[in-house]
Structure 1
């Protein structure tokens, strides 16, 4: 199959009857040029008709950066929140003629340097960066209004409202943002008038998770509810409790976080926190491009009440 040739600046100039310089001035909105409205409109219409797209490398050299925004996201942060965040980020960047590149894995200095050298991105973002710097209240999602602190609080308040006063926070080994989550959870516990949360690591594989839960219950018999760091950890907790013959929620309630699709398929079905972060992603896109972030109202999180808590 013959590949369609990409329209060039020269093609637009020839079809609209003007010089290549004039086409360049119009398409780049170069200021202080005496180009009539009629000519400007003819060039723009011709470019649309020909399907002209600026050459990315040439534009990067001219503008000093490509129209690419890079997002680093680490393992352990994938879920409904990150998916909806990336969706909003991608859509908003596309609306402003930019492209999103998502890189999975730790954002090392070497990896960042390689990206900067290779594609000259407009911006390099790190998912959850604001929570690593001690400035979590500057979260564009409002943090305590509709950001991570608000959602962590929602999880603990749900359990406290159902009479649970001794709660554990179950995490994977070495979770990203683990300290921040525990701090927010403890603040929520304090506001609810209950003791600070007990920490519980639920490791892989399945047998190790069951051993960890057995040891934990022996040492903390007063704990009646477990808040999962995410749905994955909560589901592994449910599996471990099943293997130990512990009834959920009669003997121990379990709540997840971030509402992955698998929670509804578990037995018992997992109660969790649903978070739509599309507006957060759109705000991040606008901030990266130096645009006004007003007018984007994030959707508040909500408890998805099922059978486990």
Structure 2
């Protein structure tokens, strides 16, 4: 049986098929400015590249231009739910429109040191949801890597901060319940420690709104995705006069609704976050707060491009990001 040839197609192969020099192939494939190449020659090169399945080497392009087109996103050890998946999909599309390629690495520092990951790729920029040590930051800067830290509302003055406004989510949840007449608010906290980075600022937003409106709460209960455990939390809320609950997200909110049915306290108002498909199928249908992930992605992309080119980061478009979806549960 004949051996399959897996040799990578090179610019020399394209040049031979098109009847031009390798330099001409490079000029055409990289759209090099200030080169007088006829339309016919350009067409022959592009046709030959398409026939051979040729794609320019990213490593070679980096060496030639001095800049990678890869943006490395380092995710912590998060559960990849619908919202994170939507954010990454939208961010990939937004960066592609800027000629950049998104590479995502989920995990944590125990799996593999962060410096090993970015050194292996040598990206144009790193998006990270965790703080780096001063030594790591200095090493990245020395390598010409733009660092974009997204600590969800935290961060120091020398870091470019992509603060997706989690506190606004909590404030909008509580504000909706308070405007409906509820004066004692509960908060359903997730039982997954990995979600703390989101849960804490959302809870802080609920606290701020309760304080500003001078209502009681939030009374905090950790709620697992299990009906009987949630029913116990609902009974404790009821005993302290809580009539409405802000849940960390829609899944936790659905657990609260299930717990309320089991406890026989279906009058409890509940509001979630994310607007997952199951939210509209719940009984009652779940009122929720959603984030415009396309707007988040556009903002992240613009901030990355600004970081790469040493320009000031754009303002956070807070008014465009968070929206209330009214349904029957609250």
If the TM-score is normalised by the length of the shorter chain, which range does it land in?
Answer: 0.7 to 0.9
Q: TM-score, normalised by structure 1?
A: 0.78
Pair 1:240–1:196, CA change in 2 (3 A): closer
Report if the CA contact (8 A) 1:79-1:260 is conserved.
no
Per-residue displacement from partner, 1:177-202 (whole Å, max 9, x unpaired)?
A: 33222222222223333244222211
Cross-structure match for 1:57: 59
SS in 2 for 1:83: helix
Show the counterpart of 1:181. Answer: 202
* Alpha-carbon separation, structure 1, partners of 2:175 and 2:74: 32
Between the aligned partners of 2:274 and 2:320, the Cα distance in structure 1 is 14
Q: Do the aligned partners of 2:152 and 2:162 also contact (CA within 8 Å) in 1?
A: no
Which structure 1 segments of 5+ residues have no match? none
Residue in 1 aligned with 2:88?
Answer: 86
In 1, the alpha carbon distance for the partners of 2:232 and 2:23 equals 72
Q: Aligned equivalents of 1:119 and 1:43: distance in 2? A: 34
Contact conserved, 1:13 with 1:43, CA < 8 A, in 2? no
Q: Equivalent of 2:232, from 189, 200, 211?
A: 211
Query: Which runs of structure 2 are paired with 1:80-229 in the superposition (5 Å)?
Result: 80-106=82-108, 110-127=112-129, 128-133=150-155, 140=162, 147-173=165-191, 174=193, 175-218=196-239, 221-229=240-248
Give deviations 1:21-76, integer Å, cap 9, x for gaps. Answer: 34435655668xxx64335x566544433234211333345556643322233455
Identify the residue that residue 37 of structure 2 maps to in structure 1: 38
Measure, in 1, the Cα distance between the counterparts of 2:242 and 2:223.
15
Q: C-alpha distance in 1, partners of 2:206/2:315?
A: 30
Structure number with the higher strand fraction is 2
Q: CA RMSD in A?
A: 3.5
Tell whether the 8 Å contact from 1:23 to 1:43 is kept in structure 2 after alignment.
no
Residue 231 of structure 1 is matched in structure 2 by 250
CA offset at residue 129 of structure 1?
Answer: 2.1
Provide, for residues 136-167 of structure 1, a one-character-per-residue CA deviation record: whole Å limited to 9, x for no partner. xx8657x6xxx333332211110010011211
Aligned residues: 293
TM-score normalised over the length of structure 2:
0.73
Q: Cα distance 1:157–1:76, how it changes in 2: closer, same or farther (>3 A)? A: farther
SS of 1:306's partner is coil
